[in-house]
Amino acid sequence: MLNVVESMNEGNLDICCPTPVDGIDAPRIAWTEIAVQWSVIVRTYNEARHLPDLLSMLKRQEIPEEKLEIIVVDSGSTDDTVRIAEEAGCRVVHIPKADFSFGRSLNLGCEAATGEYLVFISGHCVPVHRNWLTDLTAAMIHDGASLTYGRQIGGPETKFSEHQLFEKYFPAENHEAPHPYFCNNANAAILKSAWQRFRYDEDLPGLEDMEIGQRLVRARLKICYAPEAVVYHYHFENWAQVKRRYEREAIALQRILPTVHVSALDALRYWFAGVLGDWAKAILQRSFLRKAVEIVTFRACQFWGTWRGSNSHKQLTRQMKDRYYYPI
């Protein structure tokens, strides 16, 4: 998602439009006056590495324990993910590999949820502090937001270029979104009433967050960025997986914004600019010699995948879905 928004241009849509809409109930009561319940929905596939830390931080959030439920939507993990979730007291919802899409797994988790606030976090993300949950959902209470998304930062093994993408699209200070529909379900929340009205698209191979954001904005509902709600986002992808991630997101973008197209020349131009920008930052950070080749490779996979996805007109077969959704 993080490269395709640069080429979007659909006019000046207001991302902060809290105009009331029938069917959307946005509570505006102080925290201490409402029996709030948060449903945290975690999508997992072989997430045993970071799931214990994630669940531990969720249990340590500064809210009454009875106000929180954790739902894990697992798509066929073969490691200890399910055991870890069950031992931590999570509700585990299973989705077969054959039925998986990002939107379908979110909808299943939301259907199982009982809370007013549906919170999404990736199984390889970990909140940085104990106020993450209240920081992420505060705009729903105080500012009439229907959807919020929080800041993401990398870890020690995050690739250099991905650090730059996190800093650009999820800065430490509040900012104007790169596109009115922009949001990211690795660290996000939506009002249950908004989800019930719109639900996630179950056919897209990615960017289901931006697609629902598009419909919210067109309904003149509000999306807010919450920079205080910070998570570590850990990616452990080989180069083929990086390329596939950007390829499937570019395929999804064709559905969301059909006028956006990335040509071979565009991809080459984006790659060149990305490499030069990252090299400049690596020089300043005195890591150029260690990171130069990695930067070239990451940006090549990013924009090669974007170009391929932008120029793909195929229906996704079962084999293609497995290749896009699951590590090989």
Nearest C-alpha neighbor of 146 from the set 25, 277, 287, 64: 25
Residue 179: per-residue pLDDT: 79
Residue 23: per-residue pLDDT: 43
Residues 138 and 263 in one domain: no
Provide the residue range defining the domain that includes 285: 239-325
| Residue finishing a domain among 174, 199, 233 | 233
Residues 216 and 287 in one domain: no
| Residue finishing a domain among 233, 265, 300 | 233
| Residue finishing a domain among 170, 204, 233 | 233
Residues 272 and 171 in one domain: no
Model confidence pLDDT, tens digit, residues 246-277: 999 999 999 898 988 899 999 999 999 999 99
Residues 209 and 248 in one domain: no
Using an 8 Å Cβ cutoff, are 72 and 42 in contact?
A: yes
Q: Show the 3-state SS of 188-203.
A: EEEEHHHHHHHCCCCC
Query: What is the full DSSP assignment across 103-162?
Result: HHHHHHHHHH--SSEEEEEETTEEESSTTHHHHHHHHHHHS--SEEEEEEE--TTS-HHH
Model confidence pLDDT, tens digit, residues 176-189: 777 788 999 999 99
Residues 224 and 95 in one domain: yes
- The number of domains in the chain is 2
Residues 170 and 317 in one domain: no
Residues 13 and 125 in one domain: yes
Domain at 69, CATH number: 3.90.550.10
* pTM, rounded to two decimals: 0.84
Residue 173 has pLDDT above 50, yes or no: yes
Residue 224 has pLDDT above 80, yes or no: yes
Residues 282 and 147 in one domain: no
Amino acid at 10: E
Residues 319 and 254 in one domain: yes
Residue 177: per-residue pLDDT: 75
Instruction: Enumerate the β-bridge partners of residue 230.
Output: 151
The helix (run of H) or strand (run of E) holding residue 40 is strand 38-44
Residues 254 and 204 in one domain: no
